[in-house]
Chain A
Amino acid sequence: MSRIVVAWSPDDYGRAALVHAVAEARLRGLGLLVVNASRGDALVDDRFATDDDLAGVRAELDEAGLAYDVRQSVGADVGDQVLEAAAEVDAALIVLGLRRRTPVGKLIMGSVAQRILLGAHCPVLAVKSA
């Protein structure tokens, strides 16, 4: 069965994406795949969830009563990792949080969201944090 993939990180953007993903999943009656990815090229990455963060997400999704999986991965590009997960589970929808980024910041750091938007084979729901 097809699922909803949510690109999640333990911060406000991930939070917003997760809230909307849960709402969509309820509406469509689908399961969730939570993807938390890192490039793994720095010693410390705040967007790579700790065990406590993961336990928090699990508790939340248990409470929501949804079928879900949580996946952590390390690879060259965060966007590609989300797209791979989406292709694997034949995603019905990808949900991701958008961060504010200046043009220069985008030039230097690239944009995970842009990569997912351009590369996805299914609808993408991009949400902003409150």
Chain B
Amino acid sequence: MGDLDLLLGGLQSAATPENLLYAAIGVLLGTFVGVLPGIGPAMAVALLLPVTYSLEPTSAFIMFAGIYYGGMYGGSTTSILLNTPGESASVMTALEGNKMAKAGRAAQALATAAIGSFIAGTIGTLLVAFFAPMLAEFAVTIGAPSYFAILLFALVMTTTMLGSSKVRGFLSLFLGLTIGLVGLDLNTGQARLDLGVAQLRDPLEIVAVAVGIFALGEAFWVAAHLRRKPLQVIPVGRPWMGREDWSRSWRPWLRGTAYGFPFGAIPAGGAEIPTFLSYVTERRLSRHRDEFGKGAIEGVAGPEAANNASAAGMFVPLLAMGIPVTATASVMLAALTSYGIQPGPQLMTEQSDLVWTLLASLLIGNTLLLVLNLPLAPLWAKLLRIPRPQLYAGILFFACLGAFAANQDAFDVFLLLAFGLLGLAMRRFGLPVLPLILGVILGPIMELKLREALTISDGDLSGLWSEPLAVAVYVLTALVVVVPIVVKRVRPDLDTPAAEVARAAQDDERVGR
């Protein structure tokens, strides 16, 4: 078990006081941004990027990993106490969790979410440590055509699996790919989409794009909808669980983990499907089926575990192949590049210290979160009382500072503003943000692989499907696009996450809330 030794070595280097401090800062910050709807871990990591340039890459990544996991924990707190799921992955948690909270069982709902997340996150991280090296070893051997096909698969999967409208998803993806084209062509030195501006000949500062879309876009959006009727937050004490809660929770935790991890590990993106599958499974298997819709603990435990297991699984494609499938992962990938580290299959061997310390710090961060979150839950709920003008003023300040600091050029601040307006427009017209960010970050890598493949085949397009693996992946991609359409034709009554949420809303009305 060489991997286990490496992981232990990682634990040793992660457990220095300095790194533990960064892990603690990361999880606290992550929970902070996770609790507040609209501000997610992706925005937090993007905002922190310029600040971390002076840090060791390892320390920075320990902090980012803490933010990522912390964001998941924080999100579940908000969806349970406020019924405002911050992201699509927490929708299923909110379904039963908020009902539990309304019935006076908020403490148990928070506890099962926190402990379930801890278990799923820990198992998931161990599985990453097991699978990522194997996949990386295999990934080194695959050629450019197959790599291109896999990247295409990842983009198509994340775009089609996300949200309700595929058209909007692809619109956002193509916007992203276009933005990714800006700059000098690497082979010929031609300027592309530079609009005659000298600063646009360099590739776009990824901080400006990510911070503009996530932070400025959200701030503009909130400014446009500033005053709303305040929501009711359900008061909560210290989370705890009784014996019956434990016995009803542990099986959903494990089943949720089993659903979540594979969905995160294949570059398919999104925890929406595994959380939904977990919810449906728990409802079918539960001995307390009548409680579903009224606050069943299984309906919180399962999806929440699935959510975190898929968050962990996402590290497999990120570390082994350099393919991010979530917004946070893509910003992390951009961070890697900015440290001069080349993401891809060789990362596991060339930067093995970084990788194993990162994985070990995920385990540490997960434990920290459990220790922090159970007693601090009432405090986190207080964060929801922060007035938005003050909060977003702070975010805007850091956003502009970060964009300016990278090159000390006012042009970047205007660029930031332009992307902020784009972010506002996307929110206004319901375009998902994730495909755009993936397009910006994966676009140039895809182009590189496409060029490589075409160089090998001497410009012959058939070179793209010269490898069996590439053909298999293309077939899979086609199936992913076609099968849901066919299934919808043949069985229109099949459950979908959207239908499930709509039904829950109807139930609410019938009860006359």
Contacts and interface: CB of A to CB of B under 8 A. Distances in A.
A41 B84 contact: no
A50 interface: yes
Contacts of B233: 43-44
A58 to B, nearest CB: 18
B229 interface: yes
Interface string A28-41: 00000000001111
A87 interface: no
A39 B82 contact: no
A39 B389 CA distance: 11
B232 A50 contact: yes
Nearest to B382: A44
Contacts of A44: 82, 230-233, 384-385
**7 cross-chain pairs, A with B, having the tightest CB-CB distances, nearest first:** A45-B230, A40-B227, A44-B384, A48-B230, A44-B233, A43-B384, A42-B387
A44 B387 CA distance: 9
Interface in B211-252: 226-233
B336 to A, nearest CB: 34
Contacts of A75: 227
Contacts of B228: 40, 74
Contacts of A42: 230, 384-388
Contacts of B389: 41
Interface in A32-76: 38-46, 48, 50, 74-76
B37 interface: yes
A75 B227 CA distance: 7
A45 B388 CA distance: 12
The B contact surface, by secondary structure, is: loop
A42 B385 CA distance: 5
Contacts of B82: 43-44
A74 B226 contact: no
Interface string B386-403: 111100000000000000
The A contact surface, by secondary structure, is: loop
Contacts of B227: 39-41, 74-76
23 contacts: A39-B227, A39-B387, A40-B226, A40-B227, A40-B228, A40-B229, A41-B226, A42-B230, A42-B385, A42-B386, A43-B37, A43-B82, A43-B384, A43-B385, A43-B388, A44-B82, A44-B230, A44-B231, A45-B230, A48-B230, A50-B232, A74-B228, A75-B227
A39 B229 CA distance: 9
Interface bracket on A: 10 to 19
Contact of B84 (A39, A43, A46, A74): A43
A74 B388 CA distance: 14
Contacts of B230: 38, 40, 42-45, 48, 74
Given A45-B385, A74-B230, 11 more contacts: A38-B230, A39-B387, A40-B229, A41-B227, A42-B387, A43-B384, A43-B385, A43-B388, A44-B82, A74-B229, A76-B227
Name the residue in B84, B229, B230, B384 with the highest tally of chain A Cβ atoms < 10 Å from its Cβ.
Answer: B230
Interface string A72-93: 0011100000000000000000
Interface in A70-119: 74-76
B78 to A, nearest CB: 9
Contacts of A74: 227-230
Contacts of B226: 40-41
B354 to A, nearest CB: 38
B385 A41 contact: no
A76 B387 CA distance: 12
Interface in B65-115: 82, 84
Nearest to A43: B384
Nearest to B81: A44
A50 to B, nearest CB: 5
Contacts of A48: 229-230
A130 B389 CA distance: 33
B20 to A, nearest CB: 32
A43 to B, nearest CB: 4
Nearest to B37: A43
A121 to B, nearest CB: 26
Contact of A46 (B36, B37, B229, B385): B385
Nearest to A38: B230
A47 to B, nearest CB: 9
A38 B37 CA distance: 20
Nearest to A72: B229
Nearest to A40: B227
Contacts of B385: 42-46
Nearest to B84: A43
Contacts of A38: 229-230
A48 B84 CA distance: 18
A41 B231 contact: no
Contacts of B384: 42-44
Nearest to A50: B232
Interface string B176-218: 0000000000000000000000000000000000000000000
